[in-house]
Amino acid sequence: MYNLKVFKKLKSASNNLIIVGKNMSKFKDKTILVTGASSGIGLAMAKDFANRGANLILTARSKDKLDQLASELEARGTSAKVFIEDISVPNSAQKLYNQIKAEQIDVDILVNNAGYGRWGTFDECPVEDYENMIHLNITSLTELSYLFLEDMEKKGSGGIINVASVAAFYSIPYSAVYAATKAYVLSLSEALNFEYSRKGIHIMAVCPGATESEFVNVATVSSERLQKRLSAMQDNKNVKIQSAEDCSKEALDAFENGKIYIITGRSNRNLYSLSRLFSRKRLLNWVGRRFKKISG
């Protein structure tokens, strides 16, 4: 009888160990580089990764914000390194990569989160601003992916999370360049995942909709008129805006489950499913009229 009791206890303990193993995060003890980590989705992701046992490399332009975040994470037992870099300018991706390699840090997962958009008529924004946006949203994202994928391929493991947008699925008048850059991010992510998944590397695109962040302030920085209109929209209780924390949770869960892309927010997924019932012309007219109310 005594031996039977001992056996039952050992079996129970064994089952518990198996359960713990299954629930253990794939991010535990991984080193993760997050661009644009000082605010919004990037900030929420950095904290979420830390909660899942990862070590962080944080980069953005704001030193004070990153230092504060790193201190907060380290106080909770998470290793956090800070690299200040503005990756919207030429050669910045290579510079960031060189700094990380000089510190002999091995990146397991790259999160290309940094990006911004502009709302308004096409000629309302200086062409130089579009050039910076394209460099940040496309060029630096591509360069960082290229550089770190070489390292990941050598060790046969790794991953990339590219933050796109639900705008990637539509042509969006009055936000034409931004939507086009995010369509590139989604397309690139899916294609690279096909190429590299057989090499042990997982690449996923995250497609958020309206999310609590500084996006609106940045997108309307040159237009007080747009700021007022969008502020009124945010105050509308019928407009559903997802928190950055909820967006991060959905994204990281999706990556751990092997998804190729994720549209975060149920309302965004429902809207996308509905949009597939319409022709591109009809959808363009609907989206155009909606954004004209904001920007026109």
Residues carrying an active site annotation: 178
Would you state the structure tokens that stand for residue 32, as one six-digit string?
A: 């993760």
Nearest residue to 26 (alpha-carbon basis) of 171, 221, 161: 161
Q: What interhelical angle do 244-256 and 40-51 show, nearest 10?
A: 50
Q: What is the token pair recorded at 206?
A: 């995250």
105 Cβ partners below 8 Å, 6+ apart? 31, 57, 81
What is the distance, to the nearest Å, from the Cα of residue 4 to the centroid of all Cα atoms in its chain? 52
Q: What Cα–Cα distance (Å) separates residue 189 from each residue in 87, 102, 133, 159?
A: 19, 27, 19, 11
CB atoms within 10 A of CB 289: 11
Residue 48 tokens read as 């979420």
Contact between residue 84 and residue 61 where contact means Cβ atoms under 8 Å apart: yes
Which of these, 170, 158, 162, 208, lies nearest to 188 by C-alpha position? 162
| C-alpha distances out from residue 202 to 156, 191, 248, 253, Å | 11, 11, 17, 14
Strands 31-35 and 158-163: unpaired
